[in-house]
Amino acid sequence: MSQARAVEAETSGLDALSLQQRMELQYEIEQFLYAEAAMLDGREYRAWLDLWTEDCSYWMPIRRTVTLSDIDREFTKRGDMSFYDDDKQALAMRVAKMESGSSWSEDPPSRTRHIVDNVRITAVNGAETTVDVAFILYRSRLNTEESMWVGRRVDTLRRVDAALKLCGREIYLDQTLIRATNMSTLF
């Protein structure tokens, strides 16, 4: 099954929740994701980094234009090449780069807007909840550079000491050839 399509099957834990519980969880997660987006747009990278668990994974595979007969090879797989294949340490390096005072690709800084929508809880497993979201990331740089990345994200959130943390993010872009000078922004 193509990873482009949402996986609907893993809803066991979700079925056990009442409608009220589901609505509360949905609200809590949406507010978390909006606050996270605001941190990135507000360039609060250090605070953003703290949202991630120590064992987190942040991954963006390469997408290819393929025929329907090859659709199972549309995305690269874990362990193959990707655009992001980060653990907490790698995310911390990205943040350290931005804070270094010599990160020329972000100085002058980009103006970004992270739009998150179509949030659907797809699985609840103990302390972890997986959501499927659609995103638009708009980036304006210098006076003329514009990039827009649209795609699907699969986020896994974990409740740690009553607070939500991010422990997984898979980013499936709708672009194949990246039409941008770089991806110096965080998704």
Partner 1 sequence: MDLVQEPGSAPSKSEIRSCFDPAEGTLDRRVFADREIYDLEMRNIFARAWNFMCHESQIPNPGDYFINYIGEDQVIVVRDRQGEVQVLLNTCRHRGNALCRAEQGNAKSFVCSYHGWNYDLNGDLIGVPGMTAYYRKDFDKSQWGLAKAAQVDHLHGFYFATLDPDTPPLPDYLGEVGRIGLGLLVANGPVEVVDGVQKNVIDCNWKIAVDNLFDWYHVQYSHASAGNSGILDIAAILHPNNQMVMFGEYGHAISGPVIPPERQAEIDAMSDEERFAVTVAKMTEDPNRLPQPLRMSFAKDMLGPTGVRCMGHPNIFPNLWVSTGGTQLSLRLPRGPFETEIWWFTVLPKAMPEEMKKKQVAFITHLFGPAGLLEQDDGENWSQSTRASRGVKARTYRHHMAMGLGQDEVLTDATGTSRVETTISEHAQRWLYTNWMNWLTADSWAELKANHPSFPKGRV
Binding positions for partner 1, rule: CB under 8 A: 60-62, 64-67, 69-70, 73, 76-77, 79-86, 89-90, 93-94, 96-98, 100-105, 141, 176-184
Report the 10 Å Cβ neighbour count for 163. Answer: 9
**Helix or strand holding residue 156 (H, E):** strand 145-160
> Judged by CB, which is closer to partner 1: 29, or 63?
63
Minimum distance, C-beta of residue 31 to partner 1, in the bound complex (Å): 28
Query: Closer CB to partner 1, residue 18 or residue 102?
Result: 102
Closer to partner 1 by CB, 136 or 183: give it. 183
3-state secondary structure (DSSP) of residue 88:
helix
- Quote the least distance from Cβ 137 to partner 1, whole Å: 13
Distance CA 101, CA 103 (A): 6
Cβ atoms 139, 127 nearer than 8 A: no
* SS3 (DSSP) at 99: helix
Note every long-range contact of 32-35, with CB atoms under 8 Å and residues 24 or more positions apart, other chains counting. Answer: 32/157, 32/164, 33/116, 33/119, 33/131, 33/133, 33/155, 34/116
Least distance CB 58 / partner 1 (angstroms): 11
What is the smallest separation between the CB atom of 104 and partner 1, expressed in angstroms? Answer: 5
Closest to 49 (Cα-Cα) out of 86, 104, 100: 86
Nearer to partner 1, 32 or 187 (CB): 187
Element (H, E) at 32: helix 19-41
CB of 26 to partner 1, least distance (A): 31
* Least distance from partner 1 to the Cβ atom of residue 126, Å: 28
Minimum CB distance to partner 1 smaller for 3 or for 184: 184
- Closer to partner 1 by CB, 11 or 82: give it: 82
